[in-house]
Chains A and B, each alone.
Chain A
């Protein structure tokens, strides 16, 4: 059996004594799609923060491709092949759609390599292909800040995929999208499987079902359950957590 692509061991992230992640473990195999759900404050976004180097890890270990990335800086982690989409669209508002994608698609991100005028080979093709894939080909020269909300979400998903990172963390990719757009997003995410490993955080159970992936449920910073969509739906403990969320979330 091969080692998992990402392995999170007994992770703890605490803010001024509050343990947002409280001994969580998780393993993702290469090429897998995984959905992470849980009530508000369960620590879903925080675990993404910890993996990408944004939240200070109190204890525990994060291994990626057999390398310990727990204490690396953000750009070093991204450089090793992890990329994340944020809840609020993180695009570069005064640059055009194509420029946003080009920056994400660039392979050599060292500053002195970018002093030239010429576009590196392959970059333009990757940008064009991604514009088609996310349906923004006719918007390529629009300033990204002027896009509609759903388009911004798509652009950011496109940017994250464009980095060609092996592990993609998508935090609520369908927030603010209608049913049709959500279905297209599900198609896109499914098409990523195999080449990429994807961890999706979402609340929308319809979207989760369309992904047909294994589901991990978090609660109060810990692992609650792990299984197929059907198993999770049938689970009494998960139902209790979601129904009783107001009581539990008072602490968060």
Chain B
């Protein structure tokens, strides 16, 4: 019986971790699908969201602060993301490996800037008091914060799905995803689509940053601790697929939580990587993948 309770509790923790991985990975997956590039400074967009939440909720305490912090973090990270896209990523568009290196450089600079502004030690986001509670279900108890973060990621996913399937920008994104050259040829402003989606993905990272701030201190390297799992989610999810990323995030999140019943965090991390490599043996194209007819895709 205790075992069942433990497993259920860890299952919930796993979903909670999965929601964080997913929030961190969504922006990466969106722009990887469109432009085939990964922004290594994506973790610092999370960090920025966390610091914005800290500042807003310091100025405006309570629930109102949280409600203000979410759009502020989204806007702040989206703006920074748009700037990164326009100055760095666009220049290197045809060189995905070089993009990794250049954006890594940016990530170093942003981390050091945060260290200079906010100090090397973490700052605590002051969450509204009602969030520091837990919901008890029988012998289990679920932290309110984690339930909220799960809800936030479900709402975001639904919103993104609607955006991609029901709106004009969504149509354009799907067109560019399928065939960039053809979309450009029929008059789609491909660069604008890139920019808008990159900013959107960055904004989602900002929201993820708020979530991290609610769970623990915001440090200059807070993004780094979630970014590598987020990269693995993108690898496992399949080329820019939102559904694939969601499935991958749930698999990785729940897997890590479950193995932690038996091993410590560091071994769990190794096992997670082994799981990804094992997964590649079975489905190298990812959870979901479009077919391509290009010779060197």
Contact = CB atoms under 8 A, between A and B. Distances in A.
B is a partner of A:
yes
B291 A86 contact: no
A88 interface: yes
B177 to A, nearest CB: 15
B291 A88 contact: no
A90 B296 CA distance: 10
B286 to A, nearest CB: 16
Contacts of B295: 86, 88, 90
A2 interface: no
Interface in B244-297: 291, 293, 295
Contacts of B291: 15-16
Interface residues of A, number: 6
Contacts of A90: 295
A219 B289 CA distance: 29
Nearest to A90: B295
If over half of B's interface residues share one DSSP class (helix, strand or loop), that class is named, otherwise mixed; here it is loop
A88 B293 CA distance: 12
Nearest to A86: B295
B281 to A, nearest CB: 16
Interface string A82-105: 000010101000000000000000
B243 to A, nearest CB: 15
A64 to B, nearest CB: 22
If over half of A's interface residues share one DSSP class (helix, strand or loop), that class is named, otherwise mixed; here it is loop
Interface in A23-44: none
A15 B291 CA distance: 8
Contacts of B293: 49
A86 B293 CA distance: 12
Nearest to B296: A90
A115 to B, nearest CB: 26
Interface string A12-27: 0001100000000000
Nearest to B294: A88
A88 B297 CA distance: 13
Contacts of A86: 295
A49 B292 CA distance: 12
Interface string A125-162: 00000000000000000000000000000000000000
A86 B295 CA distance: 9
Contacts of A15: 291
B40 to A, nearest CB: 26
Nearest to A49: B293
Contacts of A88: 295
A90 B295 CA distance: 8
Nearest to A88: B295
B21 to A, nearest CB: 28
Interface string B117-151: 00000000000000000000000000000000000
A15 B295 CA distance: 17
Interface in A195-215: none
Contacts of A16: 291
A16 B293 CA distance: 13
A49 B295 CA distance: 11
A49 B293 CA distance: 10
Nearest to A20: B293
Nearest to A56: B291
A16 B290 CA distance: 9
B168 to A, nearest CB: 23
A16 B289 CA distance: 11
A127 to B, nearest CB: 24
A88 B291 CA distance: 19
Nearest to A55: B293
Nearest to A45: B293
A16 B295 CA distance: 19
A133 to B, nearest CB: 25
Nearest to A87: B295
A90 B293 CA distance: 14
A15 to B, nearest CB: 6
A88 B181 CA distance: 14
A170 B291 CA distance: 23
A219 B291 CA distance: 23
A53 to B, nearest CB: 14
A52 to B, nearest CB: 12
A169 to B, nearest CB: 14
6 contacts: A15-B291, A16-B291, A49-B293, A86-B295, A88-B295, A90-B295
Interface of A: 15-16, 49, 86, 88, 90
* 3 closest Cβ pairs, A-B complex: A15-B291, A86-B295, A90-B295
